[in-house]
Structure 1
Amino acid sequence: MEVKNVKFSELKSNALETIKPHKKTLYKGAGIFLFVTAIFMLASIILTANNHDAAADNIDAIRDLLIYPIILANIAMVAKVYKGETIKASDALENYSSLKRFGKALWAYILPALYILLWTLPVIIITLVITAIAGISFDDINSFAPSVGAICSVVVLVIGVVGISIVKGLQYALNPYILGDNPDISVNESITLSKELMKGYKRKFFLFGLSFIGWALLILPTLGLILIWLLPYCAAATYEFYNHIKREKAEENKAVSDNETVNTDENAKADETTDAE
């Protein structure tokens, strides 16, 4: 597969070559992510084994919130490599260095999810209204032999929510990479930039993500240890994708600007000719 003039394999090859001199530091950063994740997973398993399911669910929710700043920091480490900046393993915990940084990292996790939720709400509301008008009850939906109307309602709801979530998720997919590249911009600005960059590239990014599915299948058999290598690799490959889109968008904008300049010059010359006549 290609991203216009560049193959996925080329992006991945460039990524591996770029991070090669810094792989030990990046692996240590990914190792910190894996270690913290393992602690939370172990706590959740112990609580579940002792019939504390509610507490285990709370641990899982807290884990997601606390792990994302580390993921974001690992992506920022890759961004620093591409910008020629020095990195160290402790950078993986950089978003814990101040309350402001931690808050921004959490917001980078929460805000896209809120936007996706807001986009799915109309589908949920419309489906519930249609269900109510059709006289379909929740008991009918939950019964062992639901009616055709109940089945259709559930199918429409699932397809609508999943479809919108995938599309909006792809739109916001570059958010962490933009933040890593431009740490001073706000999360909302980053999301807006991601939406602009992903115009015309959502399908390609989806296919690009699927190209890693083979590696993802190895996470369980390796007890997650492959993530020490996989996290920097995926981050770098995606950063290559992001950089390539930036260049292509810049070239497109330049071409449009040049055309507008040419048209302006031609119009000016035409006006001068008309005045001379």
Structure 2
Amino acid sequence: MFTIFEIREKARQTIHHTDGIYQVAAIPVILSVIVQLFSASRNSLVGLTPEDIASPGYLFSTSLFPFFYGLLLGLLQLSVLWTLFQVTKNIKQATSFKDCISIFSHKDFGKVFKTYILKSFLLFLWGLIFYLGLGLIIGSTTVTATIILSTGSTDPNLLPQDLLALLGILLISGIFLTIIGLAIYIPQIYAYSQVEFILFEQLEREEYTGAFSIIKASRKLMKGYKFKRFVLDLSFIGWFALIVITFGLAGLYVWPYHYLAQSYFHEGILDDQAQKMNYVYE
């Protein structure tokens, strides 16, 4: 049985012995920094009128743009994960800046994209309650902020009482749904966490079985390992905080470290399964 300490130690050793490891996540890190700076300036309600908030341009920058950005960033991160998977399998001994976009030129990119989209869509369905709750929280707070801006007063007694009561109910409902949604959503995130690695292995063997089949295999493989994978991610919480503090720049080190740990976690599961099979046959 593998331990989280062993997984992280393997990841650190791989970082130390892989040339160009700090270049591999450069494009997604730089992109995320630029988008964060842009979003910070666009999302500020200071100086905005209700007409500005309701404008198509503002709605695009706060809704549609994050969707397309998230899709692009997800594919770039998938490319980084694919590269580091090859490193853990000793297929690659060094990485470079161009590996950030290597997935786009992969001969089986269509299969990769189809599997990625299906996984994302199914996880979106699992997270609907969470997203609904989050939407209620954001919506109620945004409307409240708009009312305050339009009236120029923060005194509750001077604001529409019926509307404030409704917004309060929506906020409380949103918090409740968000908590329930997370309880449903998080286990599914970890149940689907091996999809990419199973996909990569099948593409290496040229035995692609289809997106649904890979997702089913991931759910089966993660039985009994979801909490352990959660603990692995939890052990990186300090590193994730560092990414936030540095506006994403620490991702040059943290993302390769985390992705390598994920890849070695997958290997650990496979080794465990092999040992169990040997025990049964003995």
Please give the TM-score of this superposition, normalised by the length of structure 2: 0.71
State the partner residue of 2:166: 143
> CA 1:9–1:122 in 2, change beyond 3 Å: closer, same or farther?
closer
Bigger-Rg structure (1/2)? 1
Count of equivalent residues: 236
After superposition, residues 83-122 of structure 1 pair within 5 angstroms as: 83-86=89-92, 87-89=94-96, 90-97=98-105, 101=109, 103-119=110-126
Q: Distance in 1 between matches of 2:123 and 2:260?
A: 26
**Cα distance change of structure 1 residues 157 and 46 upon mapping to structure 2, 3 Å threshold:** closer
Q: Which residue of 2 aligns with 1:165?
A: 185
Q: Determine the C-alpha separation between the residues in 1 that align with 2:106 and 2:85.
A: 20
Q: Which residue of 1 aligns with 2:24?
A: 29
Q: Which residue pairs with 2:270 in the alignment? A: 246
Displacement of 1:83: 1.7
Q: Is 2:75 the partner of 1:69?
A: yes
Counterpart of 1:196 in structure 2 is 220
2:116 & 2:252 partners in 1: Cα distance?
Answer: 22
Q: Paired residue for 2:229?
A: 205
Q: Distance in 2 between matches of 1:28 and 1:244?
A: 26
The alpha-carbon deviation at position 121 of structure 1 amounts to 6.6
CA distance in 1, matches of 2:164, 2:225: 38
Q: In the aligned structure 2, how far is the partner of 1:114 from the partner of 1:8?
A: 30
Query: Residue type matched to 2:181 in 1?
Result: V
Aligned to 1:175: 195
Mapped pair 1:13 → 2:9: yes
CA distance in structure 1 between the partners assigned to 2:252 and 2:165 by the alignment: 43
Number of the residue aligned with 1:133: none
Per-residue CA deviation, residues 198-248 of structure 1 (Å, 9 max, x unaligned), is 100111111111010011111122221110011111111111111011110
Q: Percent identity?
A: 27
Q: For 1:169 and 1:175, how far apart are their aligned partners in 2?
A: 10
Alpha-carbon shift at residue 65 of structure 1 (Å): 0.5
Output the amino acid matched with 1:63.
Y
Q: Deviations over 1:23-68 (max 9, x none)?
A: x422111112212333444444555579542231222211111111
Partner of 1:82: 88
Note closer, same or farther for the CA distance 1:174–1:98 as it changes in structure 2 (3 Å cut). Answer: closer
Contact 2:194–2:218 (8 Å) recurs in 1: yes
Asked if 2 retains the 8 angstrom alpha-carbon contact of 1:41 and 1:60, the reply is no
Which structure 1 segments of 5+ residues have no match? 125-138, 260-277
| Contact 1:76/1:179 (8 A) holds in 2 | no
2:247 aligned partner, one-letter code:
L
| 1:255 aligned onto 2:275 | no
Higher RCO (CA < 8 A, seq sep 6+): 2
Task: Provide the secondary structure at the position in 1 that maps to 2:20.
Answer: helix
Shift of 1:154: 6.0
Deviates more, 1:5-14 or 1:230-239: 5-14
Distance 2:116 2:90 in 1: 27
Q: Deviations over 1:167-195 (max 9, x none)?
A: 11110012223333433534333322211
The code of the aligned residue for 1:179 comes to L
Unaligned runs of 5+ in 2: 132-161
| Structure 1 residue identity aligned to 2:21 | L
